[in-house]
Amino acid sequence: MPPTPSLTVRHRDGIHFERDGDPLPRVVADARSAVGEINVVSHAHADHTFRTAPETVVCSSETAAIAEARTGRGFEFVEEVPGIELVPAGHVVGSRAALIDHQEPDGSARRYCYTGDFSVRDRCHLEGFDPHAVDADVLVMETTYGLPDYRFPSQDDLQAEIRDWLRERDDRPLFLFGYSLGRAQKLQWLAREACPDREVLVSESVRDVNRAIAEATDGDLEFLGRPYDSLRGLRDEIVIVPTNQARADWLERAVEREGGLKAGFSGWAVDTSFRYRGNYDETFALTDHCDFDELVATVRAIDPDVVYTHHGFDEAFADVLETEFGYRARPLKRDQTTLEEFC
């Protein structure tokens, strides 16, 4: 059996990689209050960025720009430090997984891969995470959709379904719901591809993210949705709204008044309850995370000695990895140490 790695991995505020006896964790990833020697920010979703900026931040330039646009707070960052390499995670623009090299007491080197939120699919304007390019001894992975119930159609089929749905409803406004960073850009991309002559309207929060992406990529990636002020007198516009507004009274009134239809986009669309929760007319399993099969394929491609799972169906997925695939795998429970279970 391979040796147990000597960095302890803990789920606290973010994921900590700790050395025994050291006052500071060597690396802290995606914490709200970052306290590591090195602090990794995998992407600019609010649950992955800190409230107060720590000293050494490692993230992509896109993530730094988007986080600043969303929070109004800039911070110093670097894209690499000795012993840590960032690789594309395929979740949202700028998202990165971190490869952390650590020298063990016996002189051997071990590599830890922290995925952050990730997707292996190439989709719309984004390339997926490539697990075949990653060589790691320890894999720390998010497992949002870690149950076999969550298997999604191929990306080509999904995008074709969405395109057809948009094109076939060209006589009324369509309201599409997705997070301001991530889904909203893919929906703008799909709307432009499917219906180049229809106007795309977006909320201000989506517009702010669009601007930050355009600046961070020197204009290579531009999304041209126009911010709406009132949603009156619509004809066939495609309106992109943050998911948290799906059941808002003002929005429901606008959809009814304008004769619109609502569509929701999420991996949770596999559950029929998703449609009712958002009061959607249609739903699509368009997601920025891996489905169950893609999570399994990721582990098999990297083939680590140890797997730690967190978020979503972390326990069930670790169990599948152990019982069906023979991996040493454990869910990272918040504020518990799991390393000794391997000793």
Stretch that binds Zn ion, among 37-45, 140-148, 250-258, 322-330 (CB under 5 A): 37-45
CB of 234 to Zn ion, least distance (A): 31
Angle at CA 329, nearest 5°, toward 327 and 335? 170
Stretch that binds Zn ion, among 117-125, 158-166, 168-176, 332-340 (CB under 5 A): 117-125
CB of 216 to Zn ion, least distance (A): 17
Nearer CB in complex with Zn ion: 18/288? 288
Question: Which whole-number Å values give the CA distances from 119 to 93, 178, 210, 301, in the listed order?
Answer: 12, 16, 21, 14
Nearer CB in complex with Zn ion: 117/237? 117
CB of 112 to Zn ion, least distance (A): 20
Share in percent of the chain as helix, strand, coil (round to 5):
30, 25, 45
The number of residues that bind Zn ion (CB under 5 A) is 2
Stretch that binds Zn ion, among 4-12, 38-46, 192-200, 203-211 (CB under 5 A): 38-46
DSSP string, 199-258: -EEE-HHHHHHHHHHHHHTTTSS---PEEPS---S-SS-EEEE-GGGTT-HHHHHHHHHH
Nearer CB in complex with Zn ion: 45/328? 45
In angstroms, the CA 161 to CA 91 distance is 21
Q: Does 62 bind Zn ion (CB under 5 A)?
A: no
Residue 141 token pair: 């992975």
- Of 10, 11, 45, 102, which one interacts with Zn ion (CB under 5 A)? 45
Nearer CB in complex with Zn ion: 17/179? 179
In angstroms, the CA 5 to CA 19 distance is 10
Nearer CB in complex with Zn ion: 45/262? 45
Q: Does 117 bind Zn ion (CB under 5 A)?
A: yes
CA nearest neighbour of 338 among 8, 7, 4: 8
Stretch that binds Zn ion, among 41-49, 70-78, 163-171, 200-208 (CB under 5 A): 41-49
Q: Which residues bind Zn ion (CB under 5 A)?
A: 45, 117
